[in-house]
Chains A and B, each alone.
Chain A
Amino acid sequence: MSGLTRRRALGAAAALTSAAAVTAAVVTPASAAGRGHGHDTSTGPAGGHDHGAPAPFDEVYRGRRIQGRPVAAGEHHGGHHGAGYAVFVDGAELHVMRNADGSWISVVSHYDPVPTPRAAARAAVDELQGAPLLPFPAN
């Protein structure tokens, strides 16, 4: 399982490296908004009941490339549920999950739902403080 996963993630990383030079200048204004800490964690996102797949995204946030895209069922590696959506930080896949109310969490910010997969990716970048994400848990 991890072998397949790592190969796939490394392939994605290689593809991203070549694309990064072209798109590195794409930074959304919101990426300067800073850390998401201190918000109210007791409630889900307002009106977060749309269960269609979120749109893809691709940006540089705090110096790191974050991407998200819908994926077909079965495209995920084994041992990990099919979220129907994949998120990457500098080409390494970040395990994300959608909650029943439409909010999102990731494995590095598991207990603190945010409204969108892009917000989960940004929260992961905040949490990582520059550290490399391991493609999937090392064990």
Chain B
Amino acid sequence: MTVRKNQATLTADEKRRFVAAVLELKRSGRYDAFVTTHNAFIMGDTDNGERTGHRSPSFLPWHRRFLLEFERALQSFDASVALPYWDWTADRSPRSSLWAPDFLGGTGRSLDGRVTDGPFAAATGNWPVSVRVDGRTYLRRALGAGVRELPTGSEVESVLAMATYDSAPWNSASDGFRNHLEGWRGVNLHNRVHVWVGGQMATGVSPNDPVFWLHHAYVDKLWARWQRRHPGVGYAPTAGTPQVVDLHETMKPWDDTTPADLLDHTPHYTFDTD
């Protein structure tokens, strides 16, 4: 059974195996397909049109399925690997072990944002940025430059306290838990973390940075915490909403799974805190 652990608690061997599986996936060409899919949804999801992966209620189940696909791909190389999560309310400094050379490597140099250490630095030759929106082929970051502070635990608590999953107009203007977690309104959790990391993480091709998966694994965990906090409150909307994925409608690009199928994470994985 897959157990998703806090990245701060991983052993040296677990870090080494995770990194090796990610690099294998990259070498196979399958990694970049995930980046392409994500950017297609980033560009296609709009507030007044069809919206599936972002700025809509299905932001959370869509990314849950997307991460499951990625995790299964890693496990095809090493069955012991699980996605770790990054609790950015706790590990909130560029000096966190997350950014050490034995794991994801650190921030980018000031000249051009280029990451120069760790297994994903361009100089290793193992991490070409191929699916991109500009001419630069090297991984970039600017930790803490785009916005100074990561969200705090009390900011997360204020969003977990929201008793409505989502609400009309089911987009970036909505009130409720989903949009406050996504960050288009209010204290801004998920979006702000993308901005804090900077580099490719601030763009539509954000999965070019492996921290994408650790960030979203924590966003996913916050959804599970919210469900436990509000056991009587379900996914919304439940039916008949144009351009929006209702509870029992299938989601692109898979077309074989609905939000209802993904509400319970425990058939697929558990968390170290479960």
Where the two chains meet, the residues of A that have a C-beta atom closer than 8 Å to any C-beta of B are 37-38, 41-42, 79-81, 95, 97-101, 107-113, 127-129, 131-134, 137-139
User: Are A80 and B43 touching (Cβ within 8 A)?
Assistant: yes
From residue B51, how far is it (CB to closest CB) to chain A in Å?
A: 10
Q: In the complex, what residue of chain A is closest to B192 when comparing beta carbons? A: A41
Taken together as a complex, chains A and B put the C-alpha atoms of A8 and B113 apart, in Å, by 31
Any A CB within 8 A of the CB of B194: yes
Contact of A41 among B47, B172, B195 (CB under 8 A): B195
Known contacts A41-B191, A41-B195, A111-B194; A95/B43 CB under 8 A = yes
CB-contact partner of B206 in A37, A42, A110, A127, under 8 A: A110
Indicate if the CB atoms of B46 and A97 lie closer than 8 Å.
yes
Is A137 a contact partner of B131 (Cβ separation < 8 A)? yes
Q: B133 interface residue, CB < 8 Å from A?
A: yes
Supposing A80-B43, A137-B39 touch, asked if A111 and B191 sit within 8 A by C-beta, the answer is yes
The answer, among B48, B132, B146, for a CB contact under 8 Å with A134, is B132
A-B contacts, 22 listed (Cβ < 8 Å): A41-B192, A42-B186, A42-B192, A79-B44, A81-B43, A81-B46, A99-B172, A99-B184, A101-B172, A107-B43, A107-B203, A109-B203, A111-B195, A111-B202, A112-B195, A128-B134, A132-B135, A137-B132, A138-B130, A138-B131, A138-B132, A139-B32
Closest B residue to A83 using CB positions: B46
Complex contact A108–B173 (CB within 8 A): no
Decide yes or no: A110 and B203 within 8 Å by CB, A37-B145, A134-B134 being known contacts: yes
CB within 8 Å of A: which residues of B?
32, 36, 39-40, 42-44, 46-49, 55, 112-113, 130-136, 145-148, 169, 171-173, 183-184, 186-188, 190-192, 194-195, 202-206
Q: Contact check: which of A107, A110, A129, A132 meets B194 at CB < 8 Å?
A: A110
Listed from nearest, the 5 A-B pairs whose CB atoms lie closest are A100-B173, A111-B194, A111-B191, A100-B47, A107-B204
Q: Taking the nearest CB of chain B, how far is it from the CB of A103, in angstroms? A: 9
Asked if A99 and B132 sit within 8 Å, CB to CB, the answer is no
Hey, which chain B residues are within 8 Å of A98, CB to CB? 47
Cα–Cα distance between A37 and B183 once the two chains are bound (Å): 18
A138's nearest neighbour on chain B, judged by CB, is B132
Contact B43 A42 (CB under 8 A): no
* A42-B186, A108-B203, A128-B134 known; A81 vs B191 contact (CB < 8 Å): no
Complex CA distance for A138 and B192, rounded to whole angstroms: 26
Bound: A9/B147 CA distance, A: 33
In this complex, the member of B134, B187, B192, B203 whose beta carbon has the largest number of chain A beta carbons within 10 angstroms is B134
Closest B residue to A101 using CB positions = B173
Closest partner residue, chain A, to B48 (CB atom):
A100
B148 partner residues in chain A, CB cutoff 8 A: 38
Find the A residue at minimum CB distance from B204.
A107
A10 to B73, CA, bound (A): 38
Known: A37-B145, A100-B47, A137-B132. 20 other contacts (CB 8 A): A41-B188, A79-B44, A80-B44, A81-B44, A81-B46, A95-B43, A100-B48, A100-B169, A107-B39, A107-B205, A108-B133, A108-B203, A109-B203, A110-B42, A110-B204, A112-B195, A112-B202, A113-B184, A127-B202, A133-B133
